[in-house]
Amino acid sequence: MPDPFADLLIRLRKDAGRSQEKQADAINAVSGRDTMTRREISRYENFENIPTNHTIGHIAAACGVPFEDLQREAQAARARKRTGQTNAGEGEEDVKRRTLLGGAVVSVSAAAEPWGRLAFALSRGAKIDSPSAVALIDRAAELHVQELNLSARRLQSRVESHLDAITAALPRAGEHERALTIAAGETAALAGWVAWDLGEQDKADAYYEVTSQCAAIAGHPPLRALALTYSSYGASTPKAKLEILSQAASDVRGHGNATAAAWILGRHAEEAAAAGDEAGALRALERARFAYDFADHTSEQAWVRFVTPYRMDSLALSVYGQLKRSELTETAESAIDRLGDELPDGGVVVLGDLASALLRGGDVDQGVYVSRQFASAAQAKPNTMGKDRAATIAASLPDRERELALHLRRFVS
């Protein structure tokens, strides 16, 4: 005869929209091991077996419910199994408590996603050995570097898998709590950025929110600046984008944040140019370059490693192209020289902004030529925001280049 605890496990799984196989995958993602199987899930749900407390912890995290409450239900189930009791004697309070458990803390539907499990892990408080913590932190940094030469689709699975690994480690972080929380936030922000690039705005917003939560818990404002700057791309109006970027800029004031400041100020220059504020755009771009000149790119945050000289060229090209400034020609020549014959990581972004800047600036023939280079490079070395740039370029091409525009729009879809 079914047991209330078995029924609870079934309800948690179904509320998360998972098959037994998917439930096993979710538990394995939390535990960092591939030991759970569909058959074992079936045994739990048929009351043939009751999970150990260790496994209960992984089930709780995978389903977004409090460990202590789920553990208590498991203990009661073990007692019933020993005495041969059924659910006939279950009282009203037991039913009420179990019903509340099904929707506790983080909704189960949210906990089915990596950001939901991270939010739950953060809410439990943190308490991993040093080598493991360092490995997790280093992997978070490595993913931000991979963003330069991986497509959003390929990067997404890697980022979300790593986020699950950090989430599983957070409850036992100990002395590494703050560093691991920051790494979790950096990983969540990158997951949001990738989701946005794939057109999953709601998912991106959820990741950015949990990144800000990590920043607050760790007392690390630059982490919130990362989430804000990424989110600025998806804001609805130029005014909203500038407000977001102003807040991000205030979060990276001070020693050790020069590269981050350069990026954020460069983004501010882009959006000011888009809003028609020429003086504000040029002032922000000058400040961005000044900050970058004094940055120590090897010792600052992991997530600023994509802010290379190529990316600074890209920002300047975007600003000058939108404003139709005479500096565009010299900046374009300098950017092409810097790229060289072998396209570097991040070079696709520069080609995209160069093509867009030339087309906006009126150099149509050169813009079309660079657009073709961008289209080829974006397919050979895809990275995040390639689709966004492709859409911008396609919209700026002259009517005679309909075939190229169609090719770029197919790249977007």
- CA distances 326 to 184, 208, 322, 363, 364, Å, are 43, 37, 11, 12, 15
pTM of the model: 0.66
State how far the Cα of 334 lies from the Cα of 182, in Å rounded to an integer: 36
Residue 106 three-state SS: coil
Q: Which amino acid is at 41?
A: I
Which residue, among 114, 205, 111, 207, has the nearest Cα to 166 in the 3D structure?
A: 114
* 6 in Cβ contact with 98 (< 8 Å): no
> What is the predicted pLDDT for the residue at 125?
46
What per-residue confidence (pLDDT) applies to 123? Answer: 53
Task: Indicate the pLDDT class of residue 361, thresholds 50, 70 and 90.
Answer: confident
| The predicted structure's pLDDT at residue 85 | 64
Instruction: Considering only residues 117 and 65, tell me which one the structure prediction assigns the higher pLDDT.
Output: 65
Checking phi first, is residue 383 left (phi over 0); if not, alpha (psi -120 to 50) or beta? beta
Residue 108 reports pLDDT greater than 70: no
> What mean pLDDT comes out for the span 226-244?
94
Smallest CA-to-CA distance from 32 within 170, 145, 156, 130 is with: 170
Q: What share of the chain is helix, strand, coil (3-state, %, to 5)?
A: 75, 0, 25
Question: Which pLDDT score is estimated for 339?
Answer: 81
Residue type, 343: L
Name, in order, each residue with C-beta under 8 angstroms of 390's C-beta and a sequence gap of 6 or more. Answer: 352, 374, 375, 378, 408, 409, 411, 412
Q: How far apart are CA 334 and CA 209, in angstroms?
A: 38
Give the mean pLDDT of 109-132: 55
Is pLDDT larger for residue 150 or for residue 199?
199
| Range name among 63-72, 159-168, 196-205, 394-403 with the lowest pLDDT average | 63-72
Burial of 273 (0-12, 13-18, 19+ CB in 10 A): buried
**Domains in the chain: ranges and CATH:** 4-107 (1.10.260.40), 114-219 (no CATH)
**What is the reported pLDDT for 192?**
94
pLDDT for 374 equals 82
pLDDT for the residue 44: 94
- Can you tell me the distance from the alpha carbon of 213 to that of 300, in angstroms, rounded to the nearest whole number? 21
**Average pLDDT over every residue of 70-98:** 67
What residues contact residue 60 under an 8 Å CB cut-off, 6+ apart? Answer: 66, 67, 70, 71
The overall average pLDDT reported for the chain is 82
3-state DSSP call for residue 345?
coil
Least confident of 152-161, 220-229, 253-262: 152-161
